Amino acid sequence: MRVIAGSARRIQLKTLDGMDTRPTTDRIKETLFNMIAPYLYDCIFLDLFAGSGGIGIEALSRGAMEAVFVEKNPKAMEYIKDNLERTHLRRKGMTMSMDVMTALYKLEGEKQFDYIFMDPPYGQGLEQKVLSYLSESSLLSYDGVIIAEASKDTDFEYVKEFGFSIIKTKEYKTNKHVFMEPSGRKGIC
């Protein structure tokens, strides 16, 4: 896995072996960032269930002002820190080695994010827990967008109950990206 574009373009990133972190493939990452690239400059990006940090690092490489990486696996967090050093983006990255729900609580009142990206383990309903929390939170900026990476068969119809609207869904062979915003806003994607 590598950084696709921007200041850290072509730098290889370290990832954990196996499927524990399921790194987003370069092709899917490129498609995702082609959709959000015009809005990245100077944004604040939250990478939940960050794995190797590839998504947040790509955002930083493409002009995000800051990224916060949340990952509870200690070995994966070592790789995130190493990848931030390798890409010379360490000063723009904040790492939180803890459970996502704990991190969200700790970030409350401290930061607001333009993008909140999450790629939780599939089939555990973790995206629903995060969206439930965010529905009552001030972490998402007024124009902010939530992006969830999930298995292709994950149902997101419930997001209306939490006050979110689906802006766009991009499906791939086995997974998808679902773009959401608070209901009543005009989409920016």
Residue 93: give its domain's CATH number. Answer: 3.40.50.150
* 51-75 tens-digit pLDDT: 999 999 999 999 999 999 999 999 9
Q: Which of 24-28, 129-133, 174-178 has the highest mean pLDDT?
A: 129-133
**Is residue 131 scored above 90 in pLDDT?**
yes
8 falls within a domain? no
96 falls within a domain? yes
Q: What domain range is 144 assigned to?
A: 26-182
Number of domains into which the chain is organized? 1
Angstrom distances, CA of residue 93 to CA of 66, 80, 85, 183 = 6, 10, 10, 30
Edge-to-edge strands of the sheet including 175-182? Answer: 93-96, 66-70, 44-48, 113-118, 140-151, 175-182, 164-171
106 falls within a domain? yes
**Is residue 140 scored above 50 in pLDDT?**
yes
63 falls within a domain? yes
**Is residue 19 scored above 60 in pLDDT?**
no
139 falls within a domain? yes
Q: What is the pLDDT of residue 93?
A: 96
Q: Where are the strands (E) in 71-186, listed by range?
A: 93-96, 113-118, 140-151, 164-171, 175-182
Q: What is the pLDDT of residue 123?
A: 86
**Is residue 88 scored above 80 in pLDDT?**
yes
**Is residue 40 scored above 60 in pLDDT?**
yes
18 falls within a domain? no
**Is residue 21 scored above 70 in pLDDT?**
no
4 falls within a domain? no
**Is residue 102 scored above 60 in pLDDT?**
yes
169 falls within a domain? yes
Q: Where are the strands (E) in 27-137, listed by range?
A: 44-48, 66-70, 93-96, 113-118
